[in-house]
Structure 1
Amino acid sequence: MKAVVLNRFGGPEELRLDQVDRPEPGPGQVRLRVRAVGVNPFDAKVREGAMESVFTTPLPTILGIEVAGEVDAVGPDVTGLSIGDEVLGWSDTGAYAEHALATTVARKPAGLSWEHAVTLPVAVETTDRALRLLGVKAGETLLVNGAAGGVGTMAVQLGVLAGLRVVGTAGPANQEHVAALGATPTTYGDGLVERVRAVAPDGVDAVFDVAGKGVLPAAIELRGGTDRIVTIADAPAAAELGVVFTGGPQERSAERLAELAELAAKGELLTTVAATFPLTEVAEAHRLVAGGHGRGKVVLTA
């Protein structure tokens, strides 16, 4: 099968389309004919080698955590899924490929496209994990740094659904988008502390840093300390400043994913696709993700 293989760490040009063996499902796994793959900033950091201090990635490797596709083989001990089922979930083997193995998947609602389905797995799990770590409660104010991207869009909406008042940072072009999600928007950059205090004069109860961009000192100033700040984007600064960093899917729930996929199919949860690329243009997809100013998810189609 065709797959995008990373043989050495470096720039987007290190991602090469190659022929590899098609994987066979083991116990509890299904094999998917991949239709769409989510491209995440995490993928770019792994490709660069920037995550080696947190965990090691044996090379060569195939990137890609979130996947949507059709079941085309079923391993032992799998129940409730059959060949031909359309699903979305988390890949066990790397999803930048024509086929991928997966253990945790949910059925894709008929009204949800492949591209929009694949925006959900990482954003849902990451947001739920961050909100648990932050211990937020209805009525509190949450600052989401990077509110227009794939995870940020989900964080704003799930925060609002949980009864939080959300303040979201984004670039100037995405202020109306963030407001439409239900957040109070403001911009990145110098003067952030003053801008946030202007729109949230009673302070912020928690900070979820999705985008990095050196925001943690401002978050600490807003919180008056390092308590109730979580970042998924700046591990080095988190370690230096004593802020919680959380990375990588930890509590994958097919049930939760299915619940939110149904809301997305009904139009009650907004999913946003920034751009789609074929596997042959994976380097361009990574360049776009690395820019950090997109609205929604960058998607590969296979």
Structure 2
Amino acid sequence: MQAIVLEDFGTPERLLVRHDLSTPPAPGVGEVTVKVLATALNPIDNKVRTGSIANVIGASLPMVLGWDLAGEVIETGAGVTRVAVGDFVVAMSAQAATGIGTWAELVKLPEDLVTAAPVSTTVAEAASIPLAAVTALQAVDKLGPRNDRALLLVSGILGAVGRYVAELAALNGWEVVGLVRDISKVPPGYGFTTVDAACAPLFDAAVDTAGVTEIAQAVVDGGDIVSLVPTALPRVERGIRLHQSFVEENVRHLAEIVNLVDNKELSTRVHAVYPFSAVVDAVTAFEAGGQIGKTILVPDHIYYA
């Protein structure tokens, strides 16, 4: 079985493409085996790879990275009722906690992490969805009911999570403005008003996906900030409430996202697709930044340029 294996913490070159890994054991009760057709790169993968969060992760070396997958169910264990062999599915696996990574040809997962894939997307687009969109949904949920509040500032709106936060909040009735480092990088027709500096307190709430510690200065007295970056929390005063959001595996949330994608209420964006064998190039480019859309990895035998 082909898989991308991290054998030691460090640079992208520490990621080795191996073809000699054993296939997963047959799925047990409540488990499924998925043939991975596409998976995705996420910032958490870089943090795990470098060892910067080695003291808080549950996985141990050597390990397979990856949180997202789109693929086909090829085997089910006893008691599985929600999916069947042949189903096209998506899943999110909290690799840093569980050690179950998705950068492999075959992945065995609990059934309750797997849901039907969107029918309106490509395989690569489907693989781009799970972690980013579920993270965003759970963050937006922490804003609570909109009530009479209207104006929301979202940092990192050009990133996958920031984009989903903006789209989901807009669906909930918020007027969204994006905060970016360089406004010249915003593509034409991106769909949201953007600013490149935190301003006077105009916003009823903010969602910080990029670790902008000064974002609180743009929030009104008594407003709310949801932070997704625990290492760079905003400095709050004036009665501003700070909420931290940490993504959790939740197949109900993932299924809700899939439905919104198929209803054309959420978008998907893919920047580039690489074969597993080019993972060092993919990760190096991803770390360089400046990409709009997700970086996707696919097993070599199904990759086509």
State the secondary structure of the residue aligned to 1:237: coil
- Whether contact under 8 Å (2:270, 2:295) holds in the other structure is yes
Unmatched runs of 5 consecutive residues or more in structure 2: 300-305
Structure 1's 46 and 245: CA in aligned 2 closer, same or farther, altered over 3 A?
farther
Structure 1's 54 and 203: CA in aligned 2 closer, same or farther, altered over 3 A?
farther
Query: Greater shift after overlay, 223-232 or 144-153?
Result: 223-232
Identify the residue that residue 69 of structure 1 maps to in structure 2: 71
* AA partner of residue 248 (structure 2): Q
Structure 1's 30 and 283: CA in aligned 2 closer, same or farther, altered over 3 A?
same
- Whether contact under 8 Å (1:39, 1:298) holds in the other structure is yes
Answer yes or no: is 1:43 the counterpart of 2:20: no
Residue by residue over 1:43-100, the C-alpha shift from the partner in whole angstroms, topping out at 9 and shown as x without a partner, is: 1111111223443431111111111000011122211322111011123621101111
- Whether contact under 8 Å (1:153, 1:296) holds in the other structure is no
Residue by residue over 1:128-159, the C-alpha shift from the partner in whole angstroms, topping out at 9 and shown as x without a partner, is: 21122233515432211111121111111111
- Whether contact under 8 Å (1:126, 1:151) holds in the other structure is yes
Alpha-carbon distance in structure 1 between the residues aligned to 2:119 and 2:134: 22
Unmatched runs of 5 consecutive residues or more in structure 1: none
RMSD: 2.6
Answer yes or no: is 1:20 the counterpart of 2:21: yes
- Of the three residues 75, 94, 101, the one matched with 2:108 is 101
- Whether contact under 8 Å (1:36, 1:299) holds in the other structure is yes
Answer yes or no: is 1:268 the counterpart of 2:265: yes
Identify the residue that residue 211 of structure 1 maps to in structure 2: 210
Alpha-carbon distance in structure 2 between the residues aligned to 1:43 and 1:142: 29
Alpha-carbon distance in structure 1 between the residues aligned to 2:83 and 2:296: 25
Q: CA deviation at 1:176?
A: 4.0
- Of the three residues 292, 297, 302, the one matched with 1:295 is 292
Q: CA deviation at 1:262?
A: 3.6
* AA partner of residue 21 (structure 1): S
Residue by residue over 1:247-293, the C-alpha shift from the partner in whole angstroms, topping out at 9 and shown as x without a partner, is: 4x314124x43343244235332110011111111122222322332
* AA partner of residue 4 (structure 1): I
- Paired residues for 1:192-231 under 5 Å: 192-194=197-199, 197=200, 203-212=202-211, 215-216=212-213, 218-223=214-219, 228-231=224-227
Alpha-carbon distance in structure 2 between the residues aligned to 1:12 and 1:49: 12
Structure 1's 246 and 10: CA in aligned 2 closer, same or farther, altered over 3 A?
farther
Answer yes or no: is 1:85 the counterpart of 2:87: yes
Answer yes or no: is 1:148 the counterpart of 2:149: no
* AA partner of residue 100 (structure 1): V
Identify the residue that residue 236 of structure 1 maps to in structure 2: 231
Percent identity between the two aligned chains: 32
Alpha-carbon distance in structure 2 between the residues aligned to 1:107 and 1:207: 32
* AA partner of residue 185 (structure 1): T
Alpha-carbon distance in structure 1 between the residues aligned to 2:222 and 2:206: 10
Residue by residue over 1:103-147, the C-alpha shift from the partner in whole angstroms, topping out at 9 and shown as x without a partner, is: 312212333211111121112211121122233515432211111
| Paired residues, number | 284
Structure 1's 268 and 298: CA in aligned 2 closer, same or farther, altered over 3 A?
same
Structure 1's 289 and 205: CA in aligned 2 closer, same or farther, altered over 3 A?
farther
State the secondary structure of the residue aligned to 1:94: coil
- Whether contact under 8 Å (2:151, 2:175) holds in the other structure is yes
- Whether contact under 8 Å (1:136, 1:206) holds in the other structure is no
State the secondary structure of the residue aligned to 1:261: helix
* AA partner of residue 99 (structure 1): L
Alpha-carbon distance in structure 1 between the residues aligned to 2:277 and 2:91: 23
Alpha-carbon distance in structure 2 between the residues aligned to 1:193 and 1:152: 16
Identify the residue that residue 252 of structure 1 maps to in structure 2: 250
State the secondary structure of the residue aligned to 2:203: coil
Q: What TM-score, normalized to structure 2?
A: 0.83
Structure 1's 266 and 162: CA in aligned 2 closer, same or farther, altered over 3 A?
closer
Q: CA deviation at 1:223?
A: 3.1
State the secondary structure of the residue aligned to 2:102: coil
